[in-house]
Amino acid sequence: MIITCEKCGKRYKLDVSSINTPRVKVRCAHCNHGFTVRNEPERESPAPLDRPTPYRHAVFAISNQKGGVAKTSTCLNLGMSLALLDKKVLLIDFDVQANLTISLGFSSRAQSFFDVLYAGSETLSDYIRETRFPGLHLLPSNSRMALLTKYYMYRPGFETLLRNRLQQVVDQYDFILIDTPPALGFCTLNALMAADQVLIPTPCEYLSMHGIHRIEDIIHFVRRKSGHDIDYHILVSMHNRRSTASEVIHRKIREMFGNRVLGTVIEHDEKMKESQIVHLPVWEYDRTSPSARQFMQLARELAAAAGGNAQQRE
C-alpha cells in the first residue's frame, strides 16, 4: 500500500499483508510526523464511464444547485490535468463571480461571453485566451455577465446562445469544461444546453444529496422540453475519509446513484486550499499532494471514457 505523509508529502510503500487492524499508526522517517492510515486493499483503476460509444469531443457542464461544492476547483484542476495528458482544453467561466478567471491570473475585467453577445459577434474564438499552461484555454467571465438575464433572457432561442457559438470552436478542443453558478438561470441553462455531459461535484454531506436531486430534476426537464441528449455523472469531492458521517454518506450516494458515481474520489486536502490562495492549479502548487494525484486520476478516467490516450506529459 502506498501512503503519503500528511505533513511533508513524502511517499512510502507500506507492507500491510500481516496487519489485520483497520487502522495503522505510522511515523514519517523524513519529518518524524506521526499519523494514522486506513488499512484497506489497493483500489483498481476506475472503470470507464458507462457510455455506449466513445465520443470525439466532450463538453462538460460542471454544475450543482448547492454552493460550496468545489465546482470552480473541479473545473480548474480537471482542466489542468487533462492538459497534462496532452488534451486541448477550453475552460468557460460562466459564473459572474469570475473565480475561475481570477484563478488563472486574468483580470475580472477581461471580456466575457456577455461581451461576445453585446458586440453582436459570431466569432467566439476572438474572446478565448491562452493561459500560461500549455493546452489550456479560457473564455473569461466578468461582472457584466450579470446583465445576460436582463438583455437576453426570454428572447427566442436564448437558451442555445452558447451552444450555437461553441459550434465554431468545438472541433478545436478535446474537452470543453463550463463552470456554472449555483442557481438556475440564463448561465446554467445555456451551459446545460451546450453540454453533452454534466459533472456534478458533491461533498459527502447530508444536504449535498438534495443538490444532486435538484440538478437531476433540471437535467430531466431539459431533456423533456428540448429533446437535448445530455447525460450526467457525480463526482465525490472534498471527501474526509476520517469522518464517520462522511463515509456513511459516501456509501449512501453510491447506493442511490450506482454507476453514475465516478470511481475517482477527490479528498479534502489542505494543499488544495493553499493553491487557491496563490491562484494556482494544485498540480502546479504541489503535484505530490493527494488532490493533485486524484485530479490526474479523474482526468484519466474521463479521457478513457472519451476513447483517447491517457498518457501524462512530463
Of the candidate ranges 65-74, 134-143, 289-298, the one whose mean pLDDT is the lowest: 65-74
Do 33 and 59 reside in the same domain of the chain? no
CB 240 within 8 A of CB 246: yes
Do 20 and 112 reside in the same domain of the chain? no
Do 34 and 75 reside in the same domain of the chain? no
In a domain, 312, yes or no: no
The structural domain count of the chain equals 2
Do 77 and 216 reside in the same domain of the chain? yes
In a domain, 104, yes or no: yes
Do 60 and 38 reside in the same domain of the chain? no
Residue 242 neighbours by CB under 8 Å, 6+ apart: none
Do 95 and 128 reside in the same domain of the chain? yes
Task: Please tell me the distance from the alpha carbon of residue 117 to that of residue 44, in angstroms, as a whole number.
Answer: 46
Q: Which DSSP symbol is given to 129?
A: E
Mean pLDDT over the full length of the chain = 86
Do 97 and 5 reside in the same domain of the chain? no
Give tens-digit pLDDT for 264-280: 999 999 999 999 999 99
Do 202 and 172 reside in the same domain of the chain? yes
Do 242 and 105 reside in the same domain of the chain? yes
The three grid cell numbers given for residue 213, joined into one nine-digit string: 436531486
In a domain, 232, yes or no: yes
In a domain, 310, yes or no: no
Do 50 and 146 reside in the same domain of the chain? yes
126 pLDDT above the threshold of 50: yes
User: CATH number, domain at 123?
Assistant: 3.40.50.300
In a domain, 74, yes or no: yes
In a domain, 100, yes or no: yes
Do 27 and 53 reside in the same domain of the chain? no
Where in the sequence is the domain holding 163, given as residue range(s)? 45-305
In a domain, 194, yes or no: yes
In a domain, 313, yes or no: no
One DSSP character per residue, 200-250 reads EEE-S-TTHHHHHHHHHHHHHHHHHHH----EEEEEEEEE-TT-HHHHHHH
The alpha carbon torsion through 308, 310, 311, 313 (nearest 10 deg) reads 100
Do 73 and 165 reside in the same domain of the chain? yes
Task: Please tell me the distance from the alpha carbon of residue 36 to that of residue 268, in angstroms, as a whole number.
Answer: 16
Residue 97 carries which side chain, given as an amino acid letter? Q
Q: Please compute the mean of the pLDDT values over residues 60-77 and round it to a whole number.
A: 93
Q: Please compute the mean of the pLDDT values over residues 206-233 and round it to a whole number.
A: 86
Give tens-digit pLDDT for 18-46: 666 666 777 877 667 676 766 654 444 44
pTM higher than 0.75: yes
The sign of the dihedral angle between the CA atoms of 94, 97, 102, 104 is: negative
Question: Between 272 and 210, where is the model more confident?
Answer: 272
Task: Please tell me the distance from the alpha carbon of residue 58 to that of residue 128, in angstroms, as a whole number.
Answer: 18
Task: Please tell me the distance from the alpha carbon of residue 209 to that of residue 219, in angstroms, as a whole number.
Answer: 15
